[in-house]
Structure 1
Amino acid sequence: MRKMSLLAAAVLVLQLGFILSYVSAFHQPTPHAIPIAVVTEAGLPAGLNQQTADRLDAIDGAPLDARTAVDTAEVRTLLRDRDILGAYVVGSSGTDTLITASAAGSSVATALESIFTEVDAAQGRQFVVRDEIPVGVHDNRGLSGFYLSVGWVVGGYLLAAAFGLLIGAPTTRRETCVHVGILAAYSIASGALGALLTTHVLGTFAGHWFPLTVLGTGVVFATGLFTMGLRALIGVAAVPAAIVLFVILGNPSAGGAFGANVLPHVYASIGRWITPGIGTEGVRSIVYFAGAGVGQPALGLGLYILIGVLLMAAAAVLRRRRSAGESMPSQ
């Protein structure tokens, strides 16, 4: 009875954590420090671009982080390199242009439109929107990459949790190698088949099967190995710990429904370092930005793999110490 009550209480805590985390992240998205560039058309006074950037930076709440650019060609380069998320071109005729990249996050593009609606209305000006890097026709609001990433992450920690609960944590080097080997094979299959569904079956990310396979393999393997390491070190508590990290914290901060620049600061800070966000950003970089920005997701996955290895090594050391202590003759 006591064990069942404790189990129910633990599940309730996870449930409430899920509600608290998702509602906290999504209930009031507010833009902050969205990186943009400011360009002025030919014929306008020198220095107007910097004056405009300074004025945009001074907006209450600091929704923008403005810089200047020489022309729209530089803007396109900055967008494709993922250095900015939009640009504001001050027109000489009284009509300005807002350049967005919805492929980097539709919520940020929408936020920019809302901000500049107020900016131009206050000055009696108008603006038109040009989506320089739009999402694909089969990728509504750019959410497909997020769902693909979540699928990979779920597969990774579910397999590791199933091994731990149904088979048990490895107790020898040979068992560890077997578990990791099966996880590696599973990760390749999971990455390849997930990529196949989105590229060839659904046509969402056509033409990107191989790089998405590599990314998916990394996401699944990193998530699974990290969870295996936790299971080896702390036992069955690794399962709720993985749920807290990857689901309760990782999913709402991943930048799927809302980008980092409209999420609360805590979620914006952690999202890119948890595997759902790592995968989401990796998919965007591969599909829409020719690989620009993929270095950070690669680094994040490498860190999870390294931590997983260290956790398993620590668990092995503890096992050896316990075995040595048990084998010592009593005095």
Structure 2
Amino acid sequence: MTNTDTLDSDARPDADNGAQPHRSTSPTDRYSTRQIMVALVAGILLLQLGFITSYVAAFHQPTPHDIPIAVVAEAGLPAGIDQQVADRLNAIDSRPVEARVAANTFEARNLIDSREIMGAYVVSASGTDTLITASAAGSSAATALEAIFTEADAAEHRTFVVRDEVPVGVHDNRGLSGFYLAIGWVVGGYLLAAAIGLLIGAPRTRREAWTHTAVMAGYALVSGFLGALVTTNLLGTFTGHLLPLSLLGAGVVFATGMFTMGLRAVVGILAVPLAILIFVVLGNPSAGGAFGSNVLPGFYAAIGRWITPGAGTEGVRSIVYFGGTGIGQPSLTLVGYAVAGTAALIGMTTWRVRRSRGLDAAAGRS
């Protein structure tokens, strides 16, 4: 048998031994119209209620918790004053901050740039201290720090000024542009995957599975580039960063789309509501937008970075404002979704091809 014969055999698994193709039945063959309608209404109602509950739960009462900061004491102050301030901050009820000591403001700025902390408090001998924030790391966290230190300094009869060390761009209101860019990429990925699944169906051969994968990869490259182009060149939201943002966007789209197609191969049409549940109901609010993980409820803070909207949002923030620092974890998340989705799509298609051939062979022997 030649290579061409092998490929042709793989492309037409149901044609072996002259057997009739094995056809799957549609829901309308097994259930009445009324049953399907009831299931659709109930399923969509549950998704709608899940959407409302998830978004309101995430954003109705943002509360700061464990915001990492450093305390610095200027020269001329008694030794150990920085540790005393840090201890007082860590003793605040509900633990809104997690304070540590830094040797000087240079170290504190390096810790902010390396994303180990989100702010620093410089205690001054003059009585007017300085709060260093980084609104690009999360504008709500920066605002929360101002509120926390306003109350703390009032109790100590001190005042402070605020210096934003890493501000958001002038065209990036509250740092939300990266969030919406990531959401746009995510929506494109799962919509294309859902459309392929609903209008074309699951691949019947390995060749079709790889074709669907190639289509998703091509779409991801184009949509990733265009999304980056709109925000950098057309709207001027982010100056520069076209190439890294394009690559990030391609990763977000491909990871989301392939995971959705993998779900489609495993669970069928239920992949569409499952994708909405994962990427919209859970993924969007946990991504945070202007709310960093340190002001979201614990559940959303824990899952946000492990879902593609959060990975995309954090990736944009890392690229645009921190020179790529912190991009590793979002990249790992996207690779995980892409690999899992591709493996599910190819694996389930291969299993179905072999199963179909087995059924045809059994039919030929009977």
Tell me if 1:215 matches 2:280.
Answer: no
Q: Shift in Å at residue 312 of structure 1? A: 1.6
Measure the CA separation in 1 of the matches of 2:331 and 2:249.
Answer: 11
Question: Aligned to 2:49, which of 16, 31, 55?
Answer: 16
SS at 2:286 equivalent: coil
Measure the CA separation in 2 of the matches of 1:309 and 1:187.
Answer: 14
Deviations 1:217-265 (A, max 9, x none): 1100111011111101110000000000000000000020311000000
Question: Aligned to 1:171, which of 172, 181, 204?
Answer: 204
Deviations 1:83-103 (A, max 9, x none): 100011111111111100000
Measure the CA separation in 1 of the matches of 2:228 and 2:46.
Answer: 35
Tell me if 1:90 matches 2:123.
Answer: yes
The equivalent residue for 2:195 is: 162
SS at 2:109 equivalent: helix
Q: Which has the larger radius of gyration?
A: 2
Q: Shift in Å at residue 44 of structure 1? A: 0.5
Q: Relative to structure 2, which stretch is displaced further, 319-328 or 78-87?
A: 319-328
SS at 1:87 equivalent: strand
Q: Shift in Å at residue 6 of structure 1? A: 1.2
For residue 47 of structure 2, what is the amino acid of its counterpart?
Answer: L
1:69-88 to structure 2, matched below 5 A, reads 69-88=102-121
SS at 1:251 equivalent: helix
Measure the CA separation in 2 of the matches of 1:206 and 1:96.
Answer: 33
Contact 2:210 2:346 in 1 (8 A): no
Number of residue pairs aligned between Structure 1 and Structure 2: 331
Measure the CA separation in 2 of the matches of 1:325 and 1:121.
Answer: 78
Question: Aligned to 1:123, which of 148, 152, 156?
Answer: 156
TM-score of the pair, normalised by structure 1: 0.98
Tell me if 1:132 matches 2:150.
Answer: no
SS at 1:133 equivalent: coil
Question: Aligned to 2:91, which of 52, 58, 62?
Answer: 58
SS at 1:185 equivalent: helix
Tell me if 1:292 matches 2:360.
Answer: no
Measure the CA separation in 2 of the matches of 1:69 and 1:206.
Answer: 32
SS at 1:129 equivalent: strand
Tell me if 1:228 matches 2:255.
Answer: no
Q: Shift in Å at residue 172 of structure 1? A: 0.6
Measure the CA separation in 2 of the matches of 1:284 and 1:254.
Answer: 12
Measure the CA separation in 2 of the matches of 1:237 and 1:318.
Answer: 19
1:255-274 to structure 2, matched below 5 A, reads 255-274=288-307
Contact 1:152 1:216 in 2 (8 A): yes
For residue 169 of structure 2, what is the amino acid of its counterpart?
Answer: G
SS at 2:68 equivalent: strand
The equivalent residue for 2:16 is: none
TM-score of the pair, normalised by structure 2: 0.88
Measure the CA separation in 1 of the matches of 2:111 and 2:272.
Answer: 42
For residue 169 of structure 1, what is the amino acid of its counterpart?
Answer: A
Q: Shift in Å at residue 325 of structure 1? A: 5.0
Contact 1:233 1:314 in 2 (8 A): no
Q: Shift in Å at residue 324 of structure 1? A: 4.8
SS at 2:287 equivalent: coil
Question: Aligned to 2:348, which of 291, 304, 315?
Answer: 315
Measure the CA separation in 2 of the matches of 1:210 and 1:310.
Answer: 28
Contact 2:71 2:101 in 1 (8 A): yes
Quick one: percent identity of the two aligned structures? 67
The equivalent residue for 2:239 is: 206
RMSD of aligned alpha carbons: 1.2
Q: Shift in Å at residue 321 of structure 1? A: 5.2
The equivalent residue for 2:5 is: none
For residue 189 of structure 1, what is the amino acid of its counterpart?
Answer: V
Measure the CA separation in 1 of the matches of 2:89 and 2:348.
Answer: 53
